[in-house]
Amino acid sequence: MAGGGFAVDTPNNGFAGKITLSVIISCIVAASSGLLFGYDIGISGGVTTMVPFLKKFFPEILRKAASSEVNMYCVYDSQVLTLFTSSLYLAGLITSLAASRVTMTLGRRNIILIGGTIFFVGGALNGGAENIPMLILGRILLGFGVGFTNQATPLYLSEIAPAKWRGAFNAGFQFFISVGVVAAGCINFGTAKHTWGWRVSLGLAVVPAAVMTMGALLITDTPSSLVERGKIDQARRALHKARGSSIDVEPELEELIRWSKIAKSVKQEPFKTMFERKYRPHLVMAFAIPFFQQMTGINIVAFYSPNLFQSVGLGHDAALLSAVILGAVNLASLLVSTGIVDRFGRRFLFITGGICMFLCQVAVSVLLAVATGVDGTKEISKSNAVLVLVLLCFYTAGFGWSWGPLSWLIPSEIFPLKIRSTGQSIAIAVQFIVVFILSQTFLSMLCHFKFGAFLFYGGWIVVMTIFVIFFLPETKGIPLESMYTIWGKHWFWRRFVEEEADQENLP
C-alpha cells in the first residue's frame, strides 16, 4: 500500500504525524476485528430466544415460558443457558493473559491473524452443533479468537495512529463492535422464524472472521512492534507507508529504537515490572477502566436484550427488533464520540456519558417497579415496554460516546513500551472475567432483583464517574512516548511517579 498523499499535519514529538491513506486502510482493517466481538455480543441473545434453538438444546425454558406460575423475570433463569454465553468470556480471559508474551514475540498484526482464524473455526463448529458440548466447544474457540484480537487491536491502532488523532482512530474498534452488534441483530430478526435460523445466525460468524483475516494479510505490523522484535528495515518501510513516502522517518525510527533498547535493558519480567511503585497508576487503570466499563451493565443489556424485552412484554419479533434499535443507537453515538474525542478530551465524554447512563438506569428501574409491581407479578403494558426501550436507547447512547470507545483507548495509550503489551493483557483479562461473572449471573439476578438489577448498575455508574473526576488524567493529544508526564502532574498519582526519574528510565 502506498503512503497516501492527502494528510493532516499533527505533532508527534517533533515528527511529521500525518493521516495518510496507508494509515486509514491499516486502521480500518485492524479495527474490523471488532466485528468478531460485536457479532458475538449481538447474536447470542437473539439465538437464545429462538424456539427451534430452545427446543433442541433448552426445552425447559419453553416449559417455563408456557407456565403461568413462573415470574416474568425468571423465564430465562438457567445456568446452562447462561454458560452458552459466558463460556466465550472465560476462554477469552485465559487467552488474553497468554497473549501478552505472544504479542511481543509475534507482533500485533500476526496475533490479529491468529485470532481471526480461531474464531472462524469456532463459528463453523457452532453453526453445525448437534449437542450442548459442541455448542460450548465452539464458544470456547470463539473466546480464544476474541481474546487474541481484543488484546492486539487497540495496541495496533494506538501505535500506528498520529497522536493528535489517536482517539478517533482507536474508536474504530468500538465502531466495528457496534456494526457487528447491529448486523447480528438484523440476521437474528431475519432468521428467527425458520427452523434452521439459529444455525445460520451462529454459522455466519465465519464471514466477519474470514473478511478480517484476509484483510490483515494486506497490512504491515506497527513500527513500534517491528522495532521491538528487531526488524528495523521493516519498521522503516512501515513508517514510510504510515507517514508518507516524502517524509524523513529516520528521526522517528531512531526514537523508537532508543525506547526499545531502554525497554530491553530492563531484564525484569513485565508482569513483575507492572507492580513497581512508579507503575501504580498504570496498574490501577488497567484494572479499573475495564472493570467499570462492564459495571455499566451495557454488555448484559446487549447479550440479553431480546430476553429482557420479551420478559417485559414485547413479542418475540419486537424483542429482536428492539435489540437492533439499541445497536443502531450505540453506533450513531459512537460516531459522535469519534468526531469529538480528540477535541473535547476523554474526561468530558466519560463524565457526560456517566450522568446520562445513571439517569436512564434509575428511570428504567422506577418504571418497571411501577408498571410490574414490587414482586413483578403485574403484566406490563405495551406502551410501558416501549418506554423501557426508549430509556435504554438513551442509556446506550451515553455508553456509546463514553465508556464504549474510551475503555479500549485508555489502556492502549497510557503504558510505556516495555509493559504496554502486558498492561493491555491485564486490562482485557479483567474485562473478560467481569463479563463472565456478570453474564453468568445476570438472568438469575434479574429473576431475584427484578427492577433492582438496574439500580445495581446505576450505583456503579456513580462510583465510576466519581473515579474519573478525581483520578483519571487527560491524555488527549499526548504522544505515547511522552505519556509518562501526565502522572507526575496529577494531584494524587504524583506521589507514586517522580517525573524526573521517569524521564530517565521509562521507555
Q: How far apart are CA 198 and CA 56, in angstroms?
A: 11
Give the N- to C-terminal CA distance of the chain in Å, as an integer.
30
Q: How buried is residue 89: exposed, middle or buried, by Cβ count under 10 Å (0-12/13-18/19+)?
A: buried
Confidence label for 480 from pLDDT (cuts 50, 70 and 90): confident
Residue 282: pLDDT band (50, 70, 90) is very high
Per-range mean pLDDT, top range of 68-72, 192-196, 502-506? 192-196
- Running DSSP on this structure, what letter comes out for residue 314? -
Most confident segment among 37-51, 236-250, 460-474: 460-474
Interval 398-418 mean pLDDT:
88
Contact 386, 321 (CB under 8 A): no
Query: What's the CA gap between 55 and 44, in Å, rounded?
Result: 16
Q: How far is CA 54 from the centre of its chain?
A: 28
pLDDT at 6 over 50: no
CA–CA distance, 255 with 91 (Å, rounded to integer): 37
**Taking the CA of residue 473 as centre, how many other CA atoms within 13 Å lie in the half-sphere pointing to its CB?**
20
CA 507, CA 505: separation in Å to the nearest integer? 7
The single residue listed with the C-alpha cell 502506498 is 2
Instruction: Give residue 431's pLDDT.
Output: 87
pLDDT band of 503, cuts 50, 70, 90? very low
359-386 mean pLDDT: 78
CA distance 484 to 420: 12
pLDDT-derived band of residue 465, with 50, 70 and 90 as boundaries?
A: very high
Q: Are 158 and 143 in contact (CB under 8 A)?
A: no
Alpha-carbon gap, residue 168 to 352, rounded angstroms: 18
Which H or E element spans position 284? Answer: helix 280-295
> Hey, what long-range contacts does 465-471 have (CB within 8 A, 24 or more apart)?
465/350, 465/351, 465/354, 465/355, 465/358, 467/288, 467/292, 468/347, 468/350, 468/351, 468/354, 469/347, 469/351, 471/284, 471/288
Phi, psi at residue 17, to the nearest 5°? -105, 105
Give me the percent of the chain exceeding a pLDDT of 70.
85
Specify the pLDDT at position 141. Answer: 94
* Angle at the Cα of 405 from the Cα atoms of 402 and 411, rounded to 5 degrees: 105
- The angle at the Cα of 325, spanning 32 to 460, to the nearest 5 degrees, equals 80
Which domains are seen in the chain, by residue range? 10-505 (1.20.1250.20)
- The closest of 28, 24, 478 to 244, measured between CA atoms, is 24
At position 196, the amino acid (one-letter code) is W
Mean pLDDT of the chain: 82
Instruction: Give me the pLDDT at residue 2, please.
Output: 35
Give me the torsion for CA of 320, 326, 331, 336, rounded to 10°: 160
Give pLDDT, residue 70.
61
DSSP codes, 413-480 = HSS-HHHHHHHHHHHHHHHHHHHHHHHHHHHHHHHHHTTHHHHHHHHHHHHHHHHHHHH----TT--G
What are the pLDDT digits (tens) for 82-129?
A: 788 788 888 988 888 788 778 888 888 999 999 999 999 999 999 999
Query: Which pLDDT score, from 0 to 100, does residue 241 have?
Result: 80
- Return the pLDDT at 73: 61
In sequence order, the 6+-apart residues with CB closer than 8 A to the CB of 12 are 162, 163, 164, 252, 479
pLDDT(18) > 80:
no
How far apart (Å, rounded) are the C-alpha atoms in residues 119 and 324?
A: 23
pLDDT at residue 443 tops 80: no
